Structure 1
Amino acid sequence: MGLMTLNNFSSKILSFLLVPLYTSVLTTGEYGTYDLYTTTAFLLIPVLSTCISDGVLRYTLDSENNPSDVLAIGIRVSLRACFLAFILVIVNSAVKLLPVFNEYPLMFLLYFVTCLMSDVLTQFARGLERIFDVAIAGILSSLATVSLNILLLVVFDFGIRGYFIAGCSAFAITIIYLTFRLRLWRYINVRVSSALSIEIQKYSAPLILNQISWWINNASDRYIVTFFCGAAVNGVYSVAYKIPSLLSVFQTIFNQAWTISAVKELGDEGGDFVTSIYRLYNCGMVVLCSMLIMFDKPIASILFAKDFYDAWEYAPFLLLSVVFGSLSTLLGGLFTALKDSKLIAKTTALGAALNIVFSLGLVYLFGAIGAAISTTISYAVVWLIRLREAKKAVRIQVSLARDVFSYVALLVQSIVLFSGWDQGELIIELVIVLILFCAYLNDIKWVWCALKAKLQH
């Protein structure tokens, strides 16, 4: 667990630290184009592969299945997905439906293939419970990303092509490492059970809707911003996500340390357990979000070079969306433990629909900042519905008045950044941070004591 935490933490921090490099070497248009390509790949991978990587994980964990059969099915479906992606690129080149994807078609295909195969092999390794190898593969991939980006962007000045090559190479290193570490040639199996193949795909195919819904919540705004404002503005908007990624580090570490699925084993005490987890998680997210909003402009001045500095305008609302999104994910874990997948799917789909509707209207009216606001609104709605249902399911006790007050305070913080009051602005931001610290003082003390106890043992 510690190595996996290190892997997740290091990958996010390294990605964050590379932002000054990207924004100093790439133009806003180039960064926006790259972001559009990768965002599209993340949509097409679960759709064309029918979420086969999830099926590979689930059925490899099942001891009654032969891992060789499961891997063979996963690779076969993945190759089919790669062929379909190739056909889509050819068709798009002919009809020019999305001209922007005709600029780097080979790079897009290479990214698609390496990302998909890396995911399938990683999930297969997890299914074999080779967690150590998964963590090492992730660390090697992160190191490759850093070194190759510096080499290709700074030394050789390859521009956006170098950015693509670095990303694809990082995935390729994961593939190569896991291939040799797991000795995958031992699992080569040409003949597989058609019944098992159908069963795995029946399991994984329904997950497409959930993946698409989360993709819409996380990425659809990039397309709307590109449509209304252009690729250059999308580049600035996309880089703004790097500041909220700091908040995501806490989310990752927390999710590694606490598992909400334990509710299944706690019987009548489940409500108390979930209440404790939720309160601590909410406290950490709110306080860290408040501090990041306060330092939004200084962070932007350090990280974002040239025309990317305006990304600070979008970061506060994106930070708010991460708070609501993380709380929604935590509550989603609860409903997974309670085997209520229908509620998860319904709320996710509702959030996705709201995000599209609000984004279309707000981006048209206010520009890219409208996308950040719509993302916050959609996640807030999902959080509110899931919290209401969670209180019915396990009698979770939360201080809703205090929490809503804190969210309003974060919103006020975000608005104050646009006041242009210079020193007065900083004072107001600091006062709000202190107020939130006082509001969550008991929870902060509890977390501090828990951390000290953990370190001592």
Structure 2
Amino acid sequence: MGRYKYLIKNMGLLTLSNFATKLLSFFLVPLYTSVLSTSEYGTYDLFNTTISLLVPLLTVDIQEAVLRFSMDDNADQDKIWYVGCRYSIISCIIVFAGLLVNRIAGISPILQQYEVEFFLLYALTAFTGVILYFSRGTGRIADLSVAGVISSVVMISCNIFFLLVLKIGLYGYFLASILGSAAQCIYLLVRAKIWRNFGSHKDDVELRKEMTGYSKPMIANAISWWVNNASDRYIVTWLCGIAVNGIYSVSYKIPSIMSILQGIFSQAWTLSATKEFDAEDKDGFFINIYNIYNFLLVIICSGLTFLDKPIAKLLFAKDFYSAWKYAPFLMISTIFSGMAAFLGGILSALKKSGLFAKSSVITAIVNTILNVILVLSIGPLGAAISTAFAYFLMWAIRLNQMKKCINLRVNLVRDLAAYIILVIQAMLLLTFQSDNIFCWYQLAFVLIILLLYIKEIKSICMKLFKRNPKLS
């Protein structure tokens, strides 16, 4: 199977999974924003954000090692699975102990109110990560797709039942997420027959040291990604209040359209980058994929900025509509996080986890400082701008790192021109605010970007409509 076909096949299978779990839930945003208050939505978002930090920290980000090591030839899958489960169980014990301390000391009343939901969400997130990454590493992409559909059906059905029929509010939202994740886990454990690995003790000290040696630098990377992607919500909550954070958090739903593409591609790309790595990139596979992926992210960002207000009007109810202001810069940040992840796939293929940490830590520090300064100056919009700049910096650092690993011939002048156009597009949308939901002048920016990437458009058309020897 050709390298392009291998990438496209995996993207197709992962699209099914991500379509079900992310895109369908995206259309439930009007339900969430009409049933939940801004404070309730902000609380759920903070819990989710906190868990996304705790999982890599307490599990030493072992799921990354599970993915990478299970892709190696002659890998002992049972031993790799055991290592992943070992650190997930230890992390759950730590979280349980922390919740007991919180109940005794009364540190966080809101955490104490939802402590059972928090623990179940954490445990399922930790184990789901190991199961999903193990399934990807062992090539069970089709099973992942079906699991995603099952999870989506369960979660969406439960959300409708709990929020509209039983009307139990935030408790129902938590319970629907828990049941959706549980259904995904159970299916994969049974379908991929992973449950068989529970019966035997297969601890390999040398393998465990090797895996944690790879994953420990990834902790800094994961925490830094969390800082870039989620710390803004804590700072907005701290400086502006939890209700404002609820509005800011829901603004991520528009960039999530891009994040779906980014997530699908990144998962498939890690597999291709590892399998097809060529330091000289002699046939241009890496740069071709880079250019096409960059073009798709840029044009989608420009198009969504043009449609920002109409989408917000359709999705966001009541007080949430003002979230449209923050979406354009969050979409720009999604471009750079996607391109940084593309370069990260190459670093993963080389097992250079230390380089992940270096670029991520630098940008996390910059983002945190900028977040505080800009949120104090211009409110939640400052958090969105800070996030965009941080991911831009991460992309720039990793692109520079790539010079030592692969001959990647990037058209920087053209790409930087496109990025500048997107910033101007976002600033004009904010500057010339009006009651009209359509800002037609924004369409001109979309057309300019299409002209900039005419070569990539021709390349895509050729691959779609003509027989191309490179595809085989």
User: TM-score, length-normalised on structure 1?
Assistant: 0.91
- Alignment pair present for 1:141 and 2:151: yes
**CA displacement, residues 262-314 of structure 1 (integer Å, 9 cap, x when unaligned):** 662364516x3333222222211111111100110000000001111111010
Q: Which moved more, 1:257-266 or 1:326-335?
A: 257-266
- Alignment pair present for 1:154 and 2:167: no
Q: Which moved more, 1:253-262 or 1:227-236?
A: 253-262
Partners in 2 of 1:275 and 1:372 — Cα distance?
A: 29
Gaps of 5+ in 2: 1-9
Residue of structure 2 equivalent to 1:347:
359
Residue of structure 1 equivalent to 2:290:
278
Give RMSD over aligned pairs. 2.7
Q: Which moved more, 1:411-420 or 1:290-299?
A: 411-420
Residue of structure 2 equivalent to 1:241:
252
1:215 aligned to 226, 241, 259, which one? Answer: 226
CA contact (8 A) 2:16 2:148 kept: no
1:206 aligned to 202, 206, 217, which one? Answer: 217
Whichever residue aligns with residue 46 of structure 2, its letter is L
CA contact (8 A) 2:124 2:181 kept: yes
Whichever residue aligns with residue 403 of structure 1, its letter is D
How many pairs align? 456
1:449 aligned to 456, 462, 466, which one? Answer: 462
Partners in 1 of 2:297 and 2:224 — Cα distance?
A: 23
Q: Shift in Å at residue 90 of structure 1?
A: 1.9
Q: Which moved more, 1:441-450 or 1:70-79?
A: 70-79
**CA displacement, residues 91-125 of structure 1 (integer Å, 9 cap, x when unaligned):** 22333444432231111011111222222223333
Partners in 2 of 1:260 and 1:305 — Cα distance?
A: 42
Partners in 2 of 1:99 and 1:285 — Cα distance?
A: 41
Q: Shift in Å at residue 385 of structure 1?
A: 2.3
Whichever residue aligns with residue 354 of structure 1, its letter is V
Q: Percent identity?
A: 43
Whichever residue aligns with residue 94 of structure 2, its letter is L
User: TM-score, length-normalised on structure 2?
Assistant: 0.88
Partners in 1 of 2:335 and 2:342 — Cα distance?
A: 11
Structure-2 change in CA distance of 1:125 and 1:28 (3 Å): same
Q: Shift in Å at residue 407 of structure 1?
A: 1.4
Residue of structure 1 equivalent to 2:199:
189
- Alignment pair present for 1:431 and 2:447: no
Structure-2 change in CA distance of 1:454 and 1:154 (3 Å): farther
SS class of match (2:409): coil
2:391 aligned to 379, 383, 386, which one? Answer: 379
Q: Shift in Å at residue 335 of structure 1?
A: 3.4
CA contact (8 A) 2:214 2:351 kept: no
Structure-2 change in CA distance of 1:253 and 1:104 (3 Å): closer
Q: Shift in Å at residue 66 of structure 1?
A: 4.9
Residue of structure 1 equivalent to 2:121:
111
- Alignment pair present for 1:368 and 2:384: no
Residue of structure 1 equivalent to 2:61:
51
Structure-2 change in CA distance of 1:454 and 1:262 (3 Å): farther
Partners in 2 of 1:435 and 1:58 — Cα distance?
A: 40
Whichever residue aligns with residue 379 of structure 2, its letter is G
Residue of structure 1 equivalent to 2:337:
325
Structure-2 change in CA distance of 1:96 and 1:377 (3 Å): farther
Q: Which moved more, 1:12-21 or 1:329-338?
A: 329-338
CA contact (8 A) 2:332 2:422 kept: yes
Structure-2 change in CA distance of 1:57 and 1:342 (3 Å): closer
CA contact (8 A) 1:325 1:379 kept: yes
Gaps of 5+ in 1: none
Q: Shift in Å at residue 376 of structure 1?
A: 0.6
1:308 aligned to 317, 320, 327, which one? Answer: 320
Structure-2 change in CA distance of 1:144 and 1:266 (3 Å): same
Partners in 1 of 2:74 and 2:351 — Cα distance?
A: 23
Structure-2 change in CA distance of 1:81 and 1:430 (3 Å): same
Residue of structure 2 equivalent to 1:296:
308
Q: Shift in Å at residue 61 of structure 1?
A: 4.8
2:103 aligned to 83, 86, 93, which one? Answer: 93
- Alignment pair present for 1:265 and 2:289: no
Whichever residue aligns with residue 305 of structure 1, its letter is A
Partners in 1 of 2:223 and 2:346 — Cα distance?
A: 21
Q: Shift in Å at residue 317 of structure 1?
A: 0.6
Runs (4+) of structure 1 exceeding 6 A deviation are 454-457
Q: Which moved more, 1:159-168 or 1:191-200?
A: 191-200
